[in-house]
Structure 1
Amino acid sequence: MTQLLLNADVGESFGAWRMGQDEAVIPHVHLANIACGFHASDPDVMRSTIRLAKQHQVKIGAHPAYPDLQGFGRRSLQCSPEQIENLVLYQLGALQGLCRAEGTEVTYVKPHGALYNDMMKNEELLRAILRGVKAYSEHLPLMIMSTADNSRAKAMAEEEGMKLMFEAFADRAYDDAGFLVSRRLPNAVHHNPETIIEQATRIALKQPLLSNTGKSLHLEADTLCVHGDNEESIAAVKRIRAALDELG
């Protein structure tokens, strides 16, 4: 069985403002999604996060977003497909430049926040992101959310000659279509560590989950997103990594 890889959003501090606990999280994940300056981060934070990832032999991914520092990239902006291509390429290039200075490189791309959610609902936007990544390198996979039906996304990526990485979430509830339940609804986020670890294990073993209505749901996943913004979640990350390592 191919091991399910853990990924985490990191490098999201900005200037004097600190967010997350990157030093505690990065040693326990396989993939580090580093913010590229549009929703968070700055050149100093980006470079120090790259160094931290390299120190722990963690692969680096670009985490591009809408240009929305004030809203932390969680607000949808009206951008044309060409603008989306360009903003993805711009952020990818910035992170790659700093990676090269540290003797490493970007190995995949995962959009952030509203850009990530919007590409899952809008095929034109997803295609624009694929083209933006492809303009830099057709060898970089794009990380997207795994749903109950990934066939359209796969077909689009194949048309563009690009690769996809499918992502699942251990701490979120799913609806019948395999999309995340809105945070505005009750029980959208799992807080019980046992529930989170059980869901992570089921995803790793390719076992079905239960949707929020009790429907059986199968998710195809290459990577699992984990969060480490407090001591409790960091403890859960450590346990998830240990469980995945045990599964092989």
Structure 2
Amino acid sequence: NVHGTKLSHVKPHGALYLEAVENQITAKAIAKGIMSLDPDLYFVALAGKKGATMRRMGEQLGLKVVYEAFPDRAYTPEGTLVSRKQPGAVISDPDEVAKRALDMAKGFVTAVDGTKIELFVQTLCVHGDNIGAVNLVKNIRQMLEANDIKVKPMGKG
């Protein structure tokens, strides 16, 4: 509890996140760190088959794991994020991002080659360095609510 707030979740960032997706030792170390800090914290992990290692390590240690997807990022057919070094890896069109968020809430994402990848998604991440990120989030919320999908803070139902 710092400055009158309480931490609710932990999400590894950037390269550490990508390493935890691929590496069981890294995923387990992160999960152990969360457990030692506060076992009531949520562990945010990649949705879909590729996130299984992260999720399994958290769940084995008894953490509450939240499944995450990225509507403003392109996905490979394998279910990972397209490298930011590739053109089209970051999606900035508000309508496209909102449509992708709706698809994710419905249980899938379309990869760059048109493959539909099944995902069980509980939380969405929009990158703050994306052009117009605030507007992307507003559009996502409007799209979800217009389709009777409730948006709630993590841990609230």
Length-normalised TM-score, structure 1 = 0.55
Cα distance in 1 for partners of 2:86, 2:124 equals 22
Question: 2:133 matched to 1:233?
Answer: yes
Distance change in 2, residues 1:149/1:231 (3 Å): closer
Match for 1:117: what amino acid?
Answer: L
Cα distance in 2 for partners of 1:217, 1:230 equals 23
**What residue is the counterpart of 2:113 in the other structure?**
213
Match for 1:126: what amino acid?
Answer: A
Length-normalised TM-score, structure 2 = 0.83
Aligned residues: 148
Match for 1:119: what amino acid?
Answer: A
Cα distance in 2 for partners of 1:234, 1:117 equals 24
CA contact (8 A) 2:45 2:55 kept: no
**What residue is the counterpart of 1:75 in the other structure?**
none
Cα distance in 2 for partners of 1:199, 1:238 equals 14
**What residue is the counterpart of 1:172 in the other structure?**
73
Runs of 5+ in structure 1 lacking a partner?
1-95
**What residue is the counterpart of 1:191 in the other structure?**
92
Distance change in 2, residues 1:194/1:125 (3 Å): same
**What residue is the counterpart of 2:29 in the other structure?**
128
Cα displacement (A) at 1:185: 1.2
Deviations 1:67-109 (A, max 9, x none): xxxxxxxxxxxxxxxxxxxxxxxxxxxxx4x2xx42x311111
Distance change in 2, residues 1:117/1:138 (3 Å): same
Match for 2:39: what amino acid?
Answer: E
Deviations 1:177-232 (A, max 9, x none): 211010111211112222111101111122x3221222121111110012344773
Cα distance in 1 for partners of 2:136, 2:52 equals 32
Bigger radius of gyration among the two? 1
Deviations 1:126-150 (A, max 9, x none): 1000000100121111111113354
CA contact (8 A) 1:148 1:217 kept: no
CA contact (8 A) 1:142 1:164 kept: yes
Distance change in 2, residues 1:232/1:153 (3 Å): closer
CA contact (8 A) 1:146 1:219 kept: yes
